[in-house]
A = this chain, B = another copy of it.
């Protein structure tokens, strides 16, 4: 392969985003633009005291979902939720959604209706309005959602604010969406192999499947923080896995961190899925992704002011030279790799 052709897989998703930022030249915030590429959303001032945030995510058939186990109603709902989650990760409130849709010719109007219903359900769940979009033909189903949100400028929270000594916290539990995906993939395989003879029993997995198909953005947490007048120092949402997001916060904040594996909040159902497959549930929790929980840096002085059942302290931020470390239940300290899920990278194991 010549120097002139470098496949994008060599860069990976984050490499491409870095390259975009570099390639776009001087892209520093300026004027009303308060934050640009590299956080969960861009931020711009719209009045003396108020900022808007804007974020976009694409869901592509065969890459982010399979038609066979992602009913289109869920897909619409999920497409809204993942973008609202990015707005929540800025500590802001989502207002409006704009959607572009690419539909294969073999799609029926009934499928599109299910998708619209899902989009509507997603918008209603978060109190936002679907205000526009574009529908076009496409070889594969593609869905790109942009969400605009709002917050007082002094409430906006970036990835870059964590300081050594801050608590590393996560809302809810993690690894469940990945557990749900494993169950769905296995069910699909069994159905293909056994045909009509197969009678699926999904009841023991209801919760993890729901976390995969209909993830929820933690707008409730953002509202609660506002009520309690607590502002975390840095926030990111868990889309690519806790490990990857810890790396993002540390990189943006020029910090290190220690993560206590034993502290990772895991639902019993997630643990059961991992145990049945003789896999380590910590792997689900750290690298699974798609949980859409909020990972945040909290001033220890604020810890008592938050609802204790809403979050778990899973570690702490440290100095940058201390690196990013996983403390195992056995007491070992290992470097925590960022390796989350990347659609571009080739599986190497």
A56 and B20 contact, Cβ closer than 8 Å, known pairs A136-B13, A137-B344: no
Interface flag for A348 (CB, 8 Å): no
> How many residues in A have their beta carbons less than 8 Å from beta carbons of B?
76
Stretch at the interface among A21-29, A260-268, A281-289: A21-29
Interface flag for A207 (CB, 8 Å): no
Complex CA distance for A176 and B133, rounded to whole angstroms: 27
Contact A120 B5 (CB under 8 A): no
Closest B residue, CB atoms, query A345 = B137
Interface flag for A294 (CB, 8 Å): no
Contact A139 B137 (CB under 8 A): no
A100 and B17 contact, Cβ closer than 8 Å, known pairs A8-B108, A140-B140: no
Interface flag for A129 (CB, 8 Å): yes
Interface flag for A230 (CB, 8 Å): no
Complex CA distance for A36 and B128, rounded to whole angstroms: 12
A33 and B96 contact, Cβ closer than 8 Å, known pairs A120-B24, A132-B55: yes
Complex CA distance for A138 and B46, rounded to whole angstroms: 34
A132 and B102 contact, Cβ closer than 8 Å, known pairs A7-B109, A108-B7: no
Min CB gap A136→B, angstroms: 5
Complex CA distance for A106 and B42, rounded to whole angstroms: 30
Contact A130 B27 (CB under 8 A): yes
Which residues does chain B contribute within 8 Å of A108, judged by CB atoms? 4-8
Which residues does chain B contribute within 8 Å of A100, judged by CB atoms? 56-58, 144
Choose one: B54, B107, B113, B123; the contact of A19 (CB below 8 Å). B113
Complex CA distance for A344 and B107, rounded to whole angstroms: 11
Contact A56 B98 (CB under 8 A): yes
A56 and B105 contact, Cβ closer than 8 Å, known pairs A6-B110, A37-B130, A129-B36: no
Choose one: B8, B23, B55, B132; the contact of A103 (CB below 8 Å). B8
Choose one: B4, B58, B98; the contact of A55 (CB below 8 Å). B98
Interface flag for A331 (CB, 8 Å): no
Name the residue in A44, A61, A136 with the highest tally of chain B Cβ atoms < 10 Å from its Cβ.
Answer: A136
Interface flag for A270 (CB, 8 Å): no
Complex CA distance for A324 and B322, rounded to whole angstroms: 73
Contact A102 B41 (CB under 8 A): no
Complex CA distance for A112 and B344, rounded to whole angstroms: 14
20 A-B residue contacts at CB 8 Å?
A6-B110, A7-B108, A7-B109, A13-B136, A24-B120, A25-B120, A27-B130, A36-B129, A36-B130, A37-B133, A44-B95, A52-B52, A58-B144, A60-B137, A61-B139, A63-B137, A137-B343, A138-B142, A139-B139, A144-B144
